[in-house]
Structure 1
Amino acid sequence: MKAFRNLAIVLFLACRAYGQVTDAFSAGNFTANPPWTGNDTDFVISVGQLRLNSSGTDTSYLATANTYTLSNCEWNFWIRLNFSPSGNNYGRVYLVSDQQDLSGSLNGYYLQFGEALSNDQVELFRQNGTASTSVCRGTTLIASAFTIRVKVTRDASGLWTLLIDPTGGTNYVSEASGTDNTISTTNFFGVSCRYTTTNATQFYFDDFYVGPIIVDTAPPVIDSVNVTSPNSLDVFFSETVDLATSQTAINYSVNNLIGNPVSAVRSTVNTALVQLTFSQSFQSGTTYVLTTSNVQDVPGNSIITSNDTFVFYLPQYFDVLVNEIMADESPAVSLPLYEYVELHNRSGYEINLKDWTITIGSNTKTIPYVKVPADSFVVLTSTAGAPFYPGVISAGVTSFPSVTNTGNTITIRDSSGNLIHSLAYSDAWYQDAAKADGGWSLEMIDPANP
């Protein structure tokens, strides 16, 4: 989150001397280094982020001085709106303004986050007086609450480019561009929030940078290789990879006679992910090496040849057990108020539960992507409950089945539908009326002998 925190400390004097802006709000205020002015009583610093802290229905803004040249300039920042934007609830980030007061008539450029109807996308506008003209419009949908990171560049010819990472990281994807030379200088940079009562505290901003275009010279690296089926892999890179080179099959090879994939497809959802499919199947329990070369990031930096090991393992019956059951979570006894089923991977291999199923009674739901190391545990619970299990591996299952208080049958199957474990539990297992009344879990006594 604090991508520029150290940079702000080291380069602050130089940045301000040349009219740049760098602020990650590490100092816990917005009154100095650099100073922001405007509706200052409507904003606070919360957990190292600039947050609107107002009330009622209104528009609030903050601005800071910025005179950095628009020629070959970059703006980037993090933004979160914790609500569904609308025509009465939206944010603006003013990249350029000739006026400190962002609520009135001015000449400049701004990004708008939110609009009427349900096709909200980030859009760059030029403002002359009180009139606005669109320069370009992104493609990431922000019609519901969102957290994203945005980068905008403007070159010497007046070409504006809008890049977004919809996950809030730095894997930017270029979404739109447009040329506009109408305004060539600036005096201020700032934010503006238009809100109604329910959203008066739901705007967050962080990691502002305005300055020379940051040139990426670092090559991509592989963060992880995950087996998704007996003949397919997910390859996660450290950043967005170039479409052409990442989809060139001969840039990947697996040893032990597997060879090159028959297809390499970059994900349309995560542009740092490439999905490989091979004609030959992996052998269970065998260690393989994936060799990757010539894959580039968007600026054209090529990966240094990477050799990454992976193991394919086909789980067997009893490899993953239903180890603990929280059927009656209330009243709470040192545990969150959420039902859960804990699974134990007692095999000697890491197992990915993606597309496995859990059935409680007759209600079957799909388990999301979650890797469970050898001899480790995972808590399956509702999507609302998952964040309340810090320090353990957990997975939020959409529409998690109700864990019946008095008893039921729980069945776990792998992604191919093979039975892995099934048991029928009962509240009689408590053998204690007080514990059966709620707040206590049932745990397998001897996992070595299920």
Structure 2
Amino acid sequence: MYKILRFSLIIFELLPCFGFSQWNETFDKDNLLEWSGDTSNFIINNLHQLNLQAPSAGKSFISRPYQNKDELITWEFFVNLQFAPSSSNLVRIYFLMDQSQPLFNSTYFIEIGETGNLDKWNFFLKNNSNTILLGSGTIGKLSTDPSICRFKINKATDTTWRIETDYSGGSNFNFEQLILDTFSVQISNALFGLECNYTETRKDKFTFDDILIYHSGIDTSAPEIISAKAISENKILIQFNEPIDLLSSLLVSNYTVPTIGNPDSIIFLSGSNSIYELAFSKFFVSNQIYHLEYHNIEDLKGNTNFNIKEIPFTYEKIEEPIKGDLLINEFLADPSPSIGLPEVEFIELINTTHKKLNLQGLSVSDGGSSKAQFSNNIINPNEIIICCPIKDTSSYKLFGSVVGLNNFPSLNNSGDYIILKNSKDEILDEIYYSDSWFETSAQKEGGYSLELTNTLQSCKGQFVWRPSSSLIGGTPGMPNSYTTLVKDSTGPILIDAIPLSQWEIKLKFNEVLDINSATNPLNYNIFPSRSVASIDLISFSENEVVILLDEPLINSISYTITLKDILDCIGNKMITINTLIELPSTPEYNDLLWNEVLFNPKSGGSDYVEIYNNSNKLLSLDQLYISNPSWQNNWIKINNDKLIYPHTYLALATNKKNTIESYPHSDSSLILESSLPLLDDDKGSLVLSYFNKTTFKLIDSFSYDKNWHNPLLTLTEGISLEKINPSFVSDKAQNWQSASKQIYYGSPGLKNSQFIDTFLNDKHKLYQLLNTTISPNQDGFQDVLSIQFNLDLAGYKINAEIYNLSGFLIKTISQDLIATKDFMNWFGEDNNNKPVFSGNYILNLILIHPNGSKKHFKENIKVDNN
């Protein structure tokens, strides 16, 4: 506790030039004999402070009389509330009252405690039944736990009060308010009173000390300007420390700013004769320090400052934001369930410039007709502000600067459009988000914000947004959890060119485009010639354009589109490119084949499947459906119009971003985000079909099983199954192998790590081996012994076995019928699915035909288990 020094007080009392002390209460005694009221509810604690000690929730009031004979009187007192004040737990300090019952008297008092997190002190006059708010302190200064303040209140004149405070509890007072009191209620036989209103948990949390009341003496000090603020490019708002004589205060020759001159006019703004507006003919330069000089100013007591005094001020120009100045920096669309943030949606804006920006007239919306409009708000250079519904403003006060807005957009959890516009309805920033931007299912369920990672590349859409890694789910009002400032100097890149029909072509780019260049027909040329009717930028994403043609595309003709001079949203120009398009064909049976599947991802991971275009045709994904009849008897449409070119791959992932990060050996341009059927971790089926308006037409199908994985693997979670050759039939176990660990166990969009080419180069041999040495370590090189057959007759039964050099049977590979063109694999395991030792082994092959013929072959095999 801060004590006023006793020695200082003794000197203060002995020196008449300072007036004489009426009352100095430091609670050094162990009793409250001078006080009356609910004294039994208070104690003097071991720090010699007055401490509330009530038996239960309620209200307690005590008071003490003093004489008030001089208008120049000063009150000082210390308040320590060991909690964040509220409307249920508040204190009133009646520093000047004329009766002991505060509900029925004339009194001046300070109140601390209100609803929300904006607590401040409020200065009231209660005159009989009327309670009038005369002034207030700085918003939020008394909203913390604990809330501490030392007050100094000076009655400067009959009509003005000067309030000084020290929120640290010390005696380093700072001027806070000069309050006009036109009522000027006179009270001579006065009381000083304390009223505590409290709940059960706060009944002992109110502490007071150092109550000092004294006459200030006769005012002999000349007035001073205590604040000067440039409110426009040629106006200053000034405030004196006391009421001023109007005649001297309105004389323009009493003020000057070097290099600017005297003001042209002065306007009196305050009933307390202390606040004035000075207007000049010359304009101030932004961010330059000026000094206002003044003299010959007289207060109401006749005190005049004859010598020139000065006070500095700076003009900061407030500008209207242009595109790129103000960005959407973070937002919370699904606040429930909370992991630490308030369960209230918010949108965060960041000023990326060194300018002060005016938000007046700006609006934020989800693209609908209803807009949340800003009033007279200012955002400082590099400042972050939190926008939320006006009724929920208090929820985010502790996080930073908050602007509450009426008509705040309700953001859809699964995806929505956020658009920021200026007063002219021009777009300043926008984003179309999806819950697919989250990385885990837990994040999708709510409580996590999405954050912009690079303010210099805000055009990049999903690629510069990621879920917050903050432990509370977001960083409102603070720097984002992951940021980088790599400058974007690259023009837009074409990702896809897709004929939507004979009349329409869609072009998809990797970032948001400049609308003027993207819709300019001169930037597009089609050969063989097709004239362009119009070009539209798809509004929700702004990285796709649709070209409408005047004449149709013709089947089986390839067209070249030349693109040039197309800009991204910050002005980077793309290089001139040519791209080929043609109308796609309808897929037939086995045109598309299953090629890879991840059905048992790691915890937090996501499923994916891969298809391969086994034809020489350009095929569209339009009207393709997937099902898993082993689990659910329903079809899931591949909602994408992407084309798949001959002999290329395309992966479909439930979470593209997660798949790319989990499997770096991948091609992100050939991975699409798509819903998939539920895939069981043990076994299931995958069916790919084309819907021809009335029925589903089978394209490819197979039933997978976890036992198809390499038997030497003890754990298969997070490991995909790859087809060893994309052209092989899908529904055979021997055509599948576990992905190599060298490529992190998955290759979505790329040729499989376990790819085996059709290696028979001697068509007259009944079988061939790809290699006679195997190293079964899942590195993608010689992991398996592959035996390919080209039999002369159908109906053979094979007995394929591995023996060691001692003649002991190690592994029975197969004892079954075999097709004329077939193959089988040995993974280097024994009959107990244990890896064999390094060394030499014998492959024994016996082919038996129903016609009685029998063929017997042996091969030397080497196993290297390094």
What TM-score, normalized to structure 2? 0.36
Q: Which residue of 2 aligns with 1:291?
A: 292
Are the counterparts in 1 of residues 98 and 187 from structure 2 also a CA contact under 8 Å?
Answer: no
Is residue 61–residue 195 contact of structure 2 (8 Å, CA) maintained in 1?
A: yes
Q: CA offsets, 1:125-169, max 9 Å, x none?
A: 8xxxxxxxx9x9977389xxx999895759xxxxx9364469984
Larger radius of gyration: 2
Counterpart Cα distance in 2 of 1:92 and 1:315? 47
* 2:371 counterpart (363, 380, 392): 363
Which amino acid in 1 is paired with 2:61? Answer: Y
Matched, 1:377 2:373: no
The aligned residue for residue 314 of structure 1 is 319
Instruction: State the Cα distance separating 1:10 from its structure 2 match.
Output: 5.3
CA contact (8 A) 1:365 1:397 kept: no
Could you list the per-position Cα deviations for residues 165-195 of structure 1 after superposition, in whole angstroms to 9, with x for gaps in the alignment? 69984423343336677x6xx8xx4316498
State the match for 2:451 in structure 1: 443
- Work out which of the residue numbers 328, 333, 345 in structure 1 matches 2:334: 328
* CA deviation vs aligned residue, 1:46-91 (integer Å, no higher than 9, x gap): 9x99779676777x4323475x67356625367999659xxxx998
Equivalent pair of 2:134/2:180 in contact (CA under 8 Å): no
- The separation in 1 between residues aligned to 2:311 and 2:396, in whole angstroms, is 34
Deviations 1:360-411 (A, max 9, x none): 2322232555552x3343333443134211xx4x134254724514323231
Spell out the pairing of 1:141-160 with structure 2 (5 A cutoff): none
Of 218, 225, 229, the residue aligned with 1:225 is 229
Quote the residue 2:61 is aligned against: 61
- For 1:189-204, what aligned pairs fall within 5 Å after superposition? 189-191=191-193, 193=195
Cα root mean square deviation, aligned: 5.5
Read off the aligned partner of 2:326 and give its amino acid letter.
Answer: V
Change (3 A) 1:260 1:141: closer
Counterparts of 1:13-24 in structure 2 under 5 Å?
13=10, 20-22=22-24
Give 3-state SS (helix, strand or coil) of 2:442's partner. helix
8 Å CA contact 1:342–1:378 kept in 2: the answer is: yes
Going from structure 1 to structure 2, the CA distance change for 1:164 and 1:175 (only over 3 Å counts) comes to farther
2:612 paired residue number: none
Q: 1:62 to 1:359 in 2, by over 3 A?
A: same
* Residues 417-432 of structure 1 aligned to structure 2 (within 5 Å): 419=426, 421-428=428-435, 430-432=437-439
C-alpha distance in 1, partners of 2:387/2:240? Answer: 28
AA aligned to 2:360 is D
User: Structure 2 CA distance, aligned partners of 1:65 and 1:179?
Assistant: 16
Secondary structure in structure 2 of the residue aligned to 1:172: strand
SS of 1:171's equivalent in the other structure is strand
Query: C-alpha displacement at 1:359, in angstroms?
Result: 2.0
Following the alignment from structure 1 to structure 2, what is the Cα–Cα distance between the partners of residues 272 and 405? Answer: 51
In structure 2, C-alpha distance between the alignment counterparts of 1:345 and 1:139, rounded to whole Å: 36
Q: CA deviation at 1:347?
A: 1.7
Change (3 A) 1:311 1:196: closer
Give the residue type in structure 2 aligned to 1:210. Answer: I
Q: What is the alpha-carbon distance in structure 1 between the residues aligned to residue 132 and residue 7 of structure 2?
A: 33
1:176 aligned partner, one-letter code: F
Any idea what the Cα deviations from partners look like across 1:69-117, whole Å, max 9, x if unmatched?
Answer: 7356625367999659xxxx998556567xxxx469xxxx961669xxx
- Counterpart CA distance in 2 for 1:191 and 1:14 is 27
Aligned-pair distance for 1:447?
A: 1.0
Q: Match for residue 387 of structure 1? A: 397
Residue segments in structure 1 that go unaligned for 5+ positions in a row: 115-119, 126-133, 155-159
Residues 1:175 and 2:182 aligned together: yes
1:303-329 per-residue CA deviation (whole Å, 9 max, x = no partner) reads 822242324253441222222223333
Match for 1:408 among 394, 405, 417?
A: 417
Task: Give yes or no for contact 2:72–2:215 (8 Å, CA) kept in 1.
Answer: yes
Q: TM-score, normalised by structure 1?
A: 0.62
The structural deviation recorded for 1:7 is: 4.4
8 Å CA contact retained: 2:319, 2:357: no
Aligned residues: 390
Q: 2:38 matched to which residue of 1?
A: 39
1:111 aligns with 2:107: yes
* Segment drifting more, 397-406 vs 7-16: 7-16
- What is the CA–CA distance in structure 2 between the aligned matches of 1:254 and 1:340, rounded to whole Å? 44
Q: CA, structure 1 residues 15+256, in 2 after alignment: closer, same or farther (shift >3 Å)? A: closer
Letter in 2 for 1:225: K
Q: 2:309 aligns with which of 298, 304, 310?
A: 304
Provide the residue aligned with 1:161 in structure 2: 158
Q: Distance between the aligned counterparts of 1:377 and 1:9, measured in 2?
A: 47
1:196 Cα deviation from its structure 2 partner: 11
Match of 1:422, SS?
strand
One of 251, 256, 260 as aligned partner of 2:263: 260
- Structure 2 residue 140 is the aligned partner of structure 1 residue 140: no
One-letter code aligned to 1:357: L
Percent identical residues:
15
**Structure 1 pair 19–399 and aligned structure 2 pair: CA distance change class (3 A):** same
Q: Name the stretch that deviates more: 203-212 or 427-436.
A: 203-212
In structure 1, what is the Cα distance between the partners aligned to 2:358 and 2:435? 30
Distance change (3 Å), C-alpha of 1:179 and 1:95: closer
CA deviations on 1:341-368 (whole Å, 9 max, x unpaired) are 322222223x154635342232223255
Partner of 1:210: 213
Query: Contact 1:123–1:137 at 8 Å: present in 2 too?
Result: yes
SS at match of 2:354: coil
Q: 1:368 to 1:55 in 2, by over 3 A?
A: farther
Quick one: structure 1 residues 197 and 172, their matched pair in 2 at CA, closer, same or farther if it must change by over 3 Å?
Answer: same
For 1:341, give the aligned amino acid. I
Alignment match, 2:740? none
Would the alpha carbon gap of residues 90 and 235 (structure 1) be closer, same or farther in structure 2, given more than 3 Å must change? closer
Q: Which structure ranks higher in relative contact order (CA pairs < 8 Å, sequence separation ≥ 6)?
A: 1
- Whether the aligned pair in 1 keeps the contact of 2:95 and 2:193 (CA below 8 Å) is yes
Q: Is the 8 A contact 2:160 2:181 kept in 1?
A: yes
Does residue 74 in structure 1 map to residue 73 in structure 2? yes
Distance (whole Å) between structure 2 residues aligned to residue 439 and residue 336 of structure 1: 9
Does 2:345 correspond to 1:339?
yes
